[in-house]
Structure 1
Amino acid sequence: MTEFVPDAGFRKNEKLKSALLQHSALSAKGLSERLFGILFSGLVYPQIWEDPDVDMQAMALAPGHRIVTIGSGGCNMLAYLSRAPESIDVVDLNPHHIALNRMKLAAFRHLPDHMAVVRLLGSDNARTNATMFDRYIAPNLDSSTHRYWNQRSPLGRRRITVFNGNFYRTGLLGRFIAAGHALARLHGVKLEDITRCRSMEEQRHFFDTRIAPIFERPLVRWLTNRKSSLFGLGIPPQQYDELASVSETGTIAPVLKERLEKLACHFSIKDNYFAWQAFARRYPKAHEGALPDYLRAEYYSTIRAHTDNVTVHHASYTELLSTKPASSVDRFILLDAQDWMTDEQLNDLWTEITRTADQGARVIFRTAAEKSVIEGRISDAISDQWTYLKERSEHLNTLDRSAIYGGFHIYEKKS
């Protein structure tokens, strides 16, 4: 289960196809699903876009907990290690994310110090990163991950050399953000200028006067009315429909405007590294703002000491849980994966979650729309074993600095 083919495309990735495809290839929906699948089969998320600080508050994460999470960009898994859990099983259907998670773990294990980790994972234009990889990390990687990062492009550049520049400008999400910047520039707005704001009042003024009017432009409305325009955010066709259902107009532009307003205005720029990635396409420098917690010096030793507690699997969530004993997991993190699922897939997943959940276990997940995606869709026999922590969920949703989701949800296993 843990082996992966580093460059398996969508056509050969049966795990991803099984999770995504719900309609005939000859239907409009089926074509849309397959286009998304082709795009999603490459690197999608160089950085995760769920706030790990909110996750850890929601889970009341503590030493000794046994965790199963989706990998994505790997930032969440590393953040959870700062709480010294007993174990973390990371699953992902995308082999690029598997290679990234394994490399990030090896960086914490084998780079010589905290500053070297920050240089590799938190800096841009650090020209020695590939050399550092060769010296400290590469000799300690499994063969598949080693082959992935050393593979050469048609121009002869090794994949790892992307860390010599700005890794966070790569991947499907990085290219989508670049396209957003280009679109803003076309309308006379430099999005990175918001990072120069000295107060939240200035951030509000910048958003209201510079960013918000862009959403009224005909080209932006035309683009956002097409499902494929949001594939770069990692939003599949099913999730687009959920987002559109939030809007009174049934279109996506008002929803995107509202989420971007939260990102730009609800948190101080200096404290929100998600805003830096969206508006400046990099992490802040030390004098500009805070890095993600997993890159902060005070957590480095704890994270490094617990990296051997993580196992990364190329598998679906349900597939992994089916191999685990009953009552063997304390915390489940599903990101927004359930937005993709059919009722049958949801019930299969929650059957395994319920079987493997220990007393007091918690499940957290996010949704494109505000409502919980499992309500009314999983069987009563399963749902009756869980309590929805609605007020706590709603409160923590307001604190999520990534700002791109409509709902954040916490369920707790009944005693």
Structure 2
Amino acid sequence: MIQTSTAEQQLGAAVHQNIALSKTGMLERLFSRLFQQLVYPQIWEDPVVDMQALNIQPSHNLVCIASGSCNVLSYLTQAPQSVLAVDLSPAHIALGKLKLTAVQSLADFDDFYRFFGQADSRQNLETYDQQIAPNLDPQSRAYWEQRGLRGRRIAQFKRGFYRHGLLGRFIGAVHLVAWIGRVDFRPLLVAQSIDEQIRFFDTSIAPLFDMRLVRALARRRASLFGLGIPPAQYDKLAQDGNGDVLPVLRERVRKLICDFPIQNNYFAWQAFHRAYQPTEPRSVPPYLARENFAAVKAAAGRVRMLNRSLTDQLAEEPAGSKHGFVLLDAQDWMTDAQLNALWGEIHRTAAAGATVIFRTGAKADLLPGRVAADLLAEWSYDQPASEAGFQADRSAIYGGFHVYRRKG
């Protein structure tokens, strides 16, 4: 079985910054408890933006936080030498290993896409039992075959996997609020132009932010746990709204709806349809594109996936061995001591010219003034790549995208 006690200790170290009996401390402990479950059935960072910033080469060894593993498998389309993926959530590791085992076990792309692209077919259970499970490691198999009130956990891929996890349930709650506000998302999903999308936002979505219910929910820190946002990160989001998170959320939703053609933004489809596009041509994560199936299959064996903290795992990696680091938004959770410990290991393991990318809930880069000045001086901030990545990120929920490159 998954070693939850170790995972709980790791999550506690990452999230618990206040005493247990304080209001914030209790929220932190609730969040870390929830994070033991599946949070992200789909990762909510755009891997296309990541790959552009990383400029992945066949000789590169990458390090990333796994989350829902859409990033991990998408990086394989560029055939790096290796990918080390870590995550504090044991459920995320089980999901990543399921994906890696499936892409190596299934000969046909249509079977793979039905499993992870549609993720709502009874046939997926037969595919799992006959072709995937026999090759899956015992821990991950135990996770997916654990039984609950609705049968085995793997049956989520029969019922619509992307409706599960904290994120899936959060999106479901958003749809409920939209229903209360009499919003129908179908006109958005068939929009033929950005102008139509903007009109939809202005007439149907913007008024929701004036609803008393929405204002009350948005101002409760626990209400954003479904987005994987702990109390410390919630507070950073609110900073961009002068202490009020509501205008920040409004702008992030506006960007998701208005800044990219709906037919090219699978994040918007997941948010407003709760699934990927049902017909071709589809916008999907790179690992789910038919033309990338062979490349992902060929490189899947180059991934190591571990339920550990990134700092602890880097401490065991050889010096100068890594070329790209993908930190997602994990640094938003960290204290100054944790940031410095992480960057000490990043610097030690980074090859000359290595790239670090990360996202922040707030707009500002959080490293200056917090990471030791002499350590940060060994890295250069790539302003053009950071701005370009932020503008191109279709996920739209972050305040900043940041790129650092090691000097020398």
Report TM bin, short chain. over 0.9
| Cα distance between partner residues in 1 of 2:85 and 2:270 | 24
Match of 2:212 among 211, 218, 223: 218
RMSD: 1.3
Match of 1:8 among 4, 22, 26: 4
Establish whether residue 198 from structure 1 lines up as the match of residue 212 from structure 2.
no
Structure 1 length normalisation: TM-score? 0.96
Listed as ranges, the matches of 1:316-327 within 5 Å are: 316-327=309-320
| Cα distance between partner residues in 2 of 1:110 and 1:193 | 39
Greater mean alpha carbon deviation, residues 101-110 or residues 59-68: 59-68
| Structure 2 alignment gaps of length 5 or more | none
Establish whether residue 410 from structure 1 lines up as the match of residue 381 from structure 2.
no
Q: Which runs of 4+ in 1 moved over 3 A?
A: none
User: Alignment partner of 2:147: what SS?
Assistant: coil
Match of 2:302 among 299, 309, 312: 309
| Cα distance between partner residues in 1 of 2:313 and 2:158 | 35
Match of 1:169 among 157, 163, 170: 163
Match of 2:367 among 337, 361, 374: 374
Establish whether residue 262 from structure 1 lines up as the match of residue 258 from structure 2.
no
| Cα distance between partner residues in 2 of 1:171 and 1:7 | 19
Q: Deviations over 1:225-257 (max 9, x none)?
A: 110111111100000000000013x21111111
> How far 1:154 sits from its partner (Å)?
2.9
Could you say which residue in structure 2 is the equivalent of 1:244? 238
> How far 1:8 sits from its partner (Å)?
2.4
Could you say which residue in structure 2 is the equivalent of 1:147? 142
| Cα distance between partner residues in 2 of 1:90 and 1:410 | 19
> How far 1:390 sits from its partner (Å)?
1.3
The answer on whether the counterparts of 1:7 and 1:96 sit within 8 Å (CA) in structure 2 is: no
| Cα distance between partner residues in 1 of 2:57 and 2:255 | 29
| Cα distance between partner residues in 2 of 1:310 and 1:12 | 21
Establish whether residue 186 from structure 1 lines up as the match of residue 180 from structure 2.
yes
Q: Deviations over 1:66-117 (max 9, x none)?
A: 0000000000000000000000000001000010000000010001211111
| Structure 1 alignment gaps of length 5 or more | none
Could you say which residue in structure 2 is the equivalent of 1:84? 79
The answer on whether the counterparts of 2:7 and 2:307 sit within 8 Å (CA) in structure 1 is: no
Listed as ranges, the matches of 1:273-292 within 5 Å are: 273-287=266-280, 289-292=282-285
> How far 1:381 sits from its partner (Å)?
1.9
The answer on whether the counterparts of 1:189 and 1:210 sit within 8 Å (CA) in structure 2 is: yes
Establish whether residue 64 from structure 1 lines up as the match of residue 59 from structure 2.
yes
Q: Which amino acid aligns with 1:159?
A: R
| Cα distance between partner residues in 2 of 1:193 and 1:62 | 41
Q: Structure 2 vs 1, CA of residues 7 and 244 (structure 1 numbering), >3 Å: closer, same or farther?
A: same
Establish whether residue 131 from structure 1 lines up as the match of residue 97 from structure 2.
no
> How far 1:391 sits from its partner (Å)?
2.1
> How far 1:190 sits from its partner (Å)?
2.1
How many pairs are equivalent?
408
The answer on whether the counterparts of 1:181 and 1:191 sit within 8 Å (CA) in structure 2 is: no
Could you say which residue in structure 2 is the equivalent of 1:333? 326
Match of 2:227 among 225, 229, 233: 233
The answer on whether the counterparts of 1:7 and 1:148 sit within 8 Å (CA) in structure 2 is: no
Q: Which amino acid aligns with 1:150?
A: E
Greater mean alpha carbon deviation, residues 306-315 or residues 192-201: 192-201
> How far 1:42 sits from its partner (Å)?
0.8
Match of 1:55 among 25, 31, 50: 50
User: Alignment partner of 1:78: what SS?
Assistant: helix
| Cα distance between partner residues in 2 of 1:300 and 1:286 | 19
* Identical-pair percentage: 49
| Cα distance between partner residues in 2 of 1:95 and 1:354 | 27
Match of 2:385 among 383, 392, 396: 392
Q: Structure 2 vs 1, CA of residues 221 and 375 (structure 1 numbering), >3 Å: closer, same or farther?
A: same
The answer on whether the counterparts of 1:269 and 1:289 sit within 8 Å (CA) in structure 2 is: no
Structure 2 length normalisation: TM-score? 0.98
Could you say which residue in structure 1 is the equivalent of 2:14? 19
Q: Which amino acid aligns with 2:395?
A: S
